[in-house]
Structure 1
Amino acid sequence: MFRYIVAPLIGALIGYCTNYIAVKMLFRPRREKYILGHRIPLTPGAIPKGKSRLARAVGEVISTYLVTDKDIESRALAGETEDAIVDRAMELLHADIDSGFRAATNSEEEYEALMGKLDDIVTERISDAVRSINFADIIKEKGGQIINEQLGGSMIGMFLNPETVRGLLGSISDNMGVYISEHCYKFLAPEVSINMGKLRRDNVYNIMTGAGVSDDELRAKIREIYRKTVRAVVPEVISKLDIAGMVRRKIDDMEVEQLEDMVMEVMRKELNTIVNLGALIGFLLGLINLIF
């Protein structure tokens, strides 16, 4: 009777110990061991020895199957994500423009300098547009028409012959063109500064709705821009991130102890099952050996 109990128990013990040692040898020894200058076989353990290969394989699996550009794109374009982005964008559009400029600067002095530069740029652009207008031709053309319409039937008109009118208009237009070119910036600068201040105190939402764009149209446009941006940017970002390389380098840089802790945290239950399964198989083999 004792023989029928001991044999299966010994088989179970052998199976348990064998699988326990096999699991431990996945990680241990953690480094190569030498005797008289010769490396002992099976050192280091399977995982420390193949850490680089494991790192490369894990990186490839994650980048190919788990974290792909399509996965990130579909998640970014999911309904709840899109709605959150659109809602946040609408909040920003309701904020006054000035708050954005203040957030982009680090001090009041920097903010004032930026606003001054912006006012100068706008004033200069408007001045350039004004200077590009050919006032001389406009005055000569329209001025003659106005004089003829206003004074054509009057006594003064009798003394103004076409040559006199052309000479007068030519002198006025030439001098006015020079004056406008030289002084338009000075006249425009105060008005531009006042109106730019008013604009900065407003918000983009009011400006857009004031131009006839409805709330729904604005939301639809934001959603459209977001979708186009995600589809254009995500593949490029994923490519530049090099997820496979990032994971590989992270695992390569890990100490063997860290790697063991990580694997055991994920697979402790499964590895314990393998050890216990060894005991069960050993027990059954011992029992079968007695029967046959």
Structure 2
Amino acid sequence: MLQDHPLLPWIVFPLVGALIGYATNWLAVKMLFRPRQPWGAGVLKFQGVVPRRQEALADSISETVQDELISPEDVAELVQKIATSEDVRQKLQSKVDALIAEQLQSLGPMASFLPGDLVDRIKLRIEQEIFSFVEEMGHDLHGVLGSKLDVKGKVRERIMNFELDQMEQLVLKVARKELRHIEILGGFLGLAVGLVEAGLLQLWN
């Protein structure tokens, strides 16, 4: 039959190869997440890669986040910078000004007897004490957070609490295009194998 139709192998083999290659890679992508629960028995028990390795993935990702992205020391340093930033100082200063003005207003006419420079000195003194307290608190928080904050544990806990549907959607949202390319690549590789087989068959005959 093949001898009667010499072009048939060049059509059938590549087509079948492309279908098999595409289907194989499509199945491999699906098996990243499915089956969700172990299926089968003994050595023939199957489970999706992500469900089976969720704990190991959580350990690896959480360790990477803490070591490479954001450590407890980074968080502590950020908190200290925020606490001692110029923006915080300005907001505290505005609060002090408003508080002093409110207290002076509550004194009524008696407030006019207070020397202006005295009010300014009181205001400055209060601001200095507050700024000093905030800076000390920032340093204290830096020490406490640096030693107590468990970034790795928090990230690991969040990942372990992920529903598998959530994790699948997260991965697909990030890597849908790449996974699709893997499926298509399987089709092209199968097509190439089919062409090689057709060529070998042609030489054999």
Give your verdict on TM over 0.5. yes
Q: Please point out which of 20, 23, 36 is paired with 2:29.
A: 23
Task: Assess if the C-alpha contact under 8 Å between 1:32 and 1:40 holds in 2.
Answer: no
- Compute the displacement of 1:285 (Å): 2.5
Task: Assess if the C-alpha contact under 8 Å between 2:14 and 2:190 holds in 1.
Answer: yes
- Compute the displacement of 1:31 (Å): 0.3
Where do 5+ consecutive residues of structure 1 fail to align? 100-194
- Compute the displacement of 1:75 (Å): 5.1
Distance in 2, matches of 1:209 and 1:78, equals 28
Residues 1:285 and 1:90: Cα distance change in structure 2 (over 3 Å): farther
Task: Assess if the C-alpha contact under 8 Å between 2:79 and 2:138 holds in 1.
Answer: yes
Where do 5+ consecutive residues of structure 2 fail to align? 1-6, 112-116, 201-205
Residues matched between the structures, number: 181
Structure 1 residues 245-281: Cα deviation after superposition (integer angstroms, max 9, x where no partner): 1121222222322222222222222211211121122
**Are residues 1:11 and 2:14 paired?**
no
**Are residues 1:285 and 2:180 paired?**
no
- Compute the displacement of 1:83 (Å): 3.5
| 2:58 aligned residue | 55
Moved over 4 A (4+): 73-79, 211-214, 224-232
| 2:161 aligned residue | 253
For 1:263, give the aligned amino acid.
V
Residues 1:74 and 1:239: Cα distance change in structure 2 (over 3 Å): closer
Residues 1:78 and 1:212: Cα distance change in structure 2 (over 3 Å): closer
TM-score, normalised relative to structure 2 = 0.68
Distance in 1, matches of 2:173 and 2:143, equals 33
Partner SS state of residue 85, structure 2:
helix
Aligned alpha-carbon RMSD (Å): 3.7
Q: Please point out which of 112, 116, 121 is paired with 1:210.
A: 121
| 2:4 aligned residue | none
